[in-house]
Amino acid sequence: MPHPSTVHEVLTAVFQVRDFDGHPELAVLLWQRALDPQKGTWSLPGGQLGDDEDLITSARRQLAEKVDVREVAHLEQLSVFSDPARVPGDRRIASTFLGLIPLPSDPHLPPDTAWHPVSALPEMSFDHGVVVEHARARLAAKLSYTNIAFALAPAEFAMSTLREIYCAALGYQVDATNLQRVLGRRGVLTPTGTTAPSGKAGGRPPALYRFAESRLRVTDEFAALRPPS
């Protein structure tokens, strides 16, 4: 059946590594629909592209207006979802984005908005769960060959913290020593010359590092991080 009109919307999968019951996990920001269609399901923040907007301007506006997120460390276009039947009613074409928020940022959220582990998504609206899967795959791929982890990490960090971020984002265990060696060889990390306080068990204070750059850079175009065999 022909559609009388077509709406262009912009959706953003915003990720952050967050603590859930003492366990760091990759989380996505979702808001719960209060009205039909699909009342009670969870949606990615987004909305209709404005007549005077480009896509990235619209994505930033929607994040600010819908979920009160005004700062993201990294934002990139993901893909376009154009199935004529992806939502009921008028046809809606969705341009999707991947957004990243670093630790320890904790934006104030509206009451209908919450972080959810990517590994245990609630009932999602329309095809928004598929968008999250695409965004997770894009992030995992770029962790292999770019310095994109700068957008998830705090300004300064111990290698144990960076390892937790990689493990959460990739969904499998990463060895901290190997990670430090690989990133050091690529010139991604810079020692700060300072240390963090010792933990409750005491021991040697861990050295602190920072990312050499806070913009996306390809570090090894042929690299691929893989789960341990």
Q: Which CATH number fits domain 146-211: 3.30.750.200, 3.40.50.2300, 1.10.10.10, 1.10.760.10?
A: 1.10.10.10
Q: What is the 3-state secondary structure (H, E, C) of 172-216?
A: CCCCHHHHHHHHHHCCCEEEEEEECCCECCECCCCEEEEECCCCC
Give the global pTM.
0.94
Predicted confidence (pLDDT) per residue in 55-84, tens digit: 999 999 999 998 889 889 999 999 999 999
The whole-number pLDDT of residue 2 equals 53
Ranges of H-type helices in the chain = 55-67, 128-145, 159-170, 176-185
Query: What is the domain partition of the chain in residue ranges?
Result: 6-143, 146-211
Of 111, 109, 107, 21, nearest to 71 (Cα)?
Answer: 107
Fold assignment, 6-143: Nucleoside Triphosphate Pyrophosphohydrolase (3.90.79)
Could you say which residues of the chain have pLDDT below 70?
1-4, 198-203, 224, 229
Exposure string over 24-46, b if 16+ CB within 10 A, otherwise e: bbbbbbbbbbeeeebeebbbbbb
pLDDT exceeding 70 applies to what percent of the chain? 95
